[in-house]
Amino acid sequence: MAHFLLESVWLVPCYALIGGLLALPWSPGIIRRTGPRPAGYINLVMTFFAFVHAAVVLPATWNQPPYEISIPWVSTAGLNLSIDLEISSLSVGAMVVIAGLNLLAQIFAVGYMEMDWGWARFYSLLGLFEAGLCALALCNSLFFSYIILEVLTLGTYLLVGLWFSQPLVVTGARDAFLTKRVGDLFLLMGVLGLFPLAGTWNYTELAEWAASANVNPTLITLVCLALIAGPMGKCAQFPLHLWLDEAMEGPVPSTILRNSVVVASGAWVLIKLQPVFSLSPIASSVMVAIGAVTAVGGSLIAIAQIDIKRCLSYSVSTYMGLVFIAVGTQQNEAALLLVLTHALAAALLVMSTGAIIWNSITQDITLLGGLWSRRPVSGIAYVVGILALIGFPPLGGFWALLKLASGLWETQPWLVGVVVAVNALTAFSLTREFSLIFGGKPKQMSDRSPEVSWQMSLPMIILLAFTLHLPLVLQSLSLLPSWATLNKDVALLLIWSSVFGCSISSVIYLGNVIPKPIRFPIKPLQDLLAYDFYTPKLYRMSIVLGVDLISKLADMIDRLIFDGIVNLVGLISILSGEGLKYSTSGQTQFYAFTVLLGVGVLGMLVSWQYWGVQFLDLMF
């Protein structure tokens, strides 16, 4: 039985896909009598199957060598594309996390989407996401990873654009699609550029190739930069980060999934490609630089936001930046640990804030306050989410950050500074959000705010428990870095930075010393951070403006020059007809004249050879 389940673990993505397809008939236009709810229940059942299947298989894969499956897909002259699957404890574990988080997000959505008719579309897209992410976890081929990433980009477009009657949703979905698409297209360049070098797209074979490859450093740097660009867009890294901010227009349950898992899909590909990146030191430095800039910038921006969801979305960019740093410094295990702990903590934070939004309507944290006494479950979930995300022992985030920072301690101490600073800033911003939502006095919007129904609080509590148990689970699987070998200075630094960030923030926002709303002494700087470094303006002034101008120019050239040339031919024909018809003058004598002229000219031509030379001699 266990063996059979192991062999058929590739069914896990199929469950979700089938669930997604089965949800579609409950679109309001097809089945009108039952209402949309069965779509959600079917998806829940299928996701539950997927979760159970993956969870049952996971112990069987433990301490086993990876089991590989190769399904031929296309075989043409000189190119054999096969769908390579790798069933290892890592991929099955990732599927457990994905299916588990999706299950919780779907239960949450049963409550959250209560007063919505669009369940069929929503749940089928959640099913698509789960299928895509699980397939990405299983997939052992760069080419098929790229295909799945593209499918998920389309999925993001549709899911962000769920409530498409809102204008901001439409622009947000557009930006989410185009920004990620640009990254994916660069990734495609990298994928295509890698094949002639390595001759394979299989990650395992790529790693073997990279171990002993001897290639032109410029070439491999360019290929690696292109390969970075894809995850850069997926993980919402600078400068391709605006889409995640605008994707917060989508429904909260999908945000749970996006913030925790979807953005990590780019990081997954990045981690899988790490052996290739290690061929190019420049690419690794670029990755570290992007990650560091995004981590610091994102955590600073998160502090200056007033939208409850956007505070969290910039923290997601921040943590993905830390993953970039980890991969750039060849610390795959730290990166994977970071992805795992961040997924749980971020999902918990979004669930908690989603529950707040559902009852308090506003997303503006300056209009909320004083919810701690009346919303204890959401509040505790939020606190645990904070502590699990930042470096606070013994929760998961601490171990991931500690592993990352101790790996950097010897080689790049300044990056430890970045990690510690980011940790402090994130602690500050999350505590600020907590203080503004749960602390202080109730404001008008949060005056009467009951706790949410069980459909929303149950997954929150389950996830809360998982988050709390994560260190124990990791320890039992001996995945935690052992305390003896870790750098205790770094651990102290992390703990102190967390305590520092949290306490300063709570003193500022919970104390009454500083008047609210807080004005930063330098107003332009506050605005700069609040408006995300004016990234929309930057886009509009650079890329969008350039493409817009070029397309207008191309349109003009097409209309005026190319269309003009073709139309000119027609016009000339018309005008020549119009003009030449006057040769038919109606005068018989004119006709006679033209006949004579024709005869005369023809006669001259025919007889030219007999008199032409003499004529020319005579004339000249």
* Binding-site ranges for another protein (CB under 8 A): 581-582, 584-589, 592-593, 596
Closer CB to another protein, 414 or 610, in the complex: 610
| Residue 521 vs 586, nearer CB to another protein | 586
Distance CA(132)–CA(88), nearest Å, equals 18
Contact 343, 268 (CB under 8 A): no
Please report how close the Cβ of residue 594 comes to another protein at its closest, in angstroms.
10
Q: Is 364 helix (H, G, I), strand (E, B) or coil?
A: strand
CA 26/CA 36 separation, integer angstroms: 5
- Which residue carries 């003193």 as its tokens? 507
Question: Which DSSP letter does residue 515 get?
Answer: P
Quick one: 482 or 614, whose CB is closer to another protein? 614
Beta bridge partners of 84: 70
Residue 590 or 615 having the CB closest to another protein = 590
DSSP codes of every residue in 28-96: TTT--SS-SHHHHHHHHHHHHHHHHHHHHHHHHHTT---EEEEEEEEEETTEEEEEEEEE-HHHHHHHH
Closest distance of CB 587 from another protein, Å: 5
83 DSSP β-pair partners: 71
Cβ–Cβ under 8 Å, residues 231 and 270: yes
**CA 413 – CA 335 distance, rounded (Å):** 18
Q: What is the DSSP string of 523-540?
A: HHHHHHHHTGGGHHHHHH
Q: Are 113 and 251 in contact (CB under 8 A)?
A: yes
Report CA Rg, the chain.
32
Question: Nearer Cβ to another protein, position 32 or 581?
Answer: 581
Q: In a 3-state reduction of DSSP, which class is residue 218? A: helix
CB 567, min distance to another protein, A: 25
Q: Minimum distance between the CB of residue 586 and another protein, rounded to whole angstroms? A: 3
Residue 162, classed as helix, strand or coil, is coil
Kindly state the smallest distance separating residue 607's Cβ from another protein, in Å.
Answer: 14
Q: How far is the CB of 613 from another protein (least distance, A)?
A: 21
Q: Nearer to another protein by C-beta: 4 or 582?
A: 582
Q: Are 173 and 160 in contact (CB under 8 A)?
A: yes
What is the closest distance, in whole angstroms, from the C-beta atom of residue 577 to another protein in the complex? 10
Which of 521, 577 has the CB closer to another protein? 577
Closest CA to 160 of 241, 249, 261, 233: 249
Q: Which is nearer to another protein, 34 or 594 (CB)?
A: 594
Q: How far is the CB of 554 from another protein (least distance, A)?
A: 43
Smallest gap from residue 547 Cβ to another protein (A): 53
CB of 604 to another protein, least distance (A): 15
**Residues 149 and 187: beta-carbon distance below 8 Å:** yes
Q: Least separation, in Å, of the C-beta of 593 and another protein? A: 5
- What is the nearest approach in angstroms of another protein to the Cβ of residue 584? 5
In terms of CB distance, is 165 or 584 closer to another protein? 584
Residue 512 or 583 having the CB closest to another protein: 583
Min CB(608)–another protein separation in Å:
19
Measured between alpha carbons, how far is 425 from 403 in angstroms, rounded to an integer? 19
Q: Among residues 556 and 592, whose Cβ is nearest to another protein?
A: 592
SS (H, E, C) 451-505: CCCHHHHHHHHHHHHHHHHHHHHHHHCCCCCCCCCCCHHHHHHHHHHHHHHHHHH
Chain Cα centroid distance, residue 117: 27
Helix locations, 236-393, DSSP H: 242-246, 252-257, 263-272, 274-277, 281-303, 308-328, 332-360, 376-389
Helices 263-272, 332-360: axis angle to 10 degrees equals 180
Residue 357 near residue 112 (C-beta atoms within 8 A): no
Decide whether 72 or 586 has the Cβ nearer to another protein. 586
Q: Output 444 or 584, the one with its CB closest to another protein.
A: 584
Q: Give per-residue burial for 525-535: e unless 16+ CB within 10 Å, then b.
A: eeeebeebbeb
Least Å from the CB of residue 603 to another protein: 13
- Which CB sits closer to another protein, 570 or 586? 586
| Cβ pair 390, 423 in contact under 8 A | yes
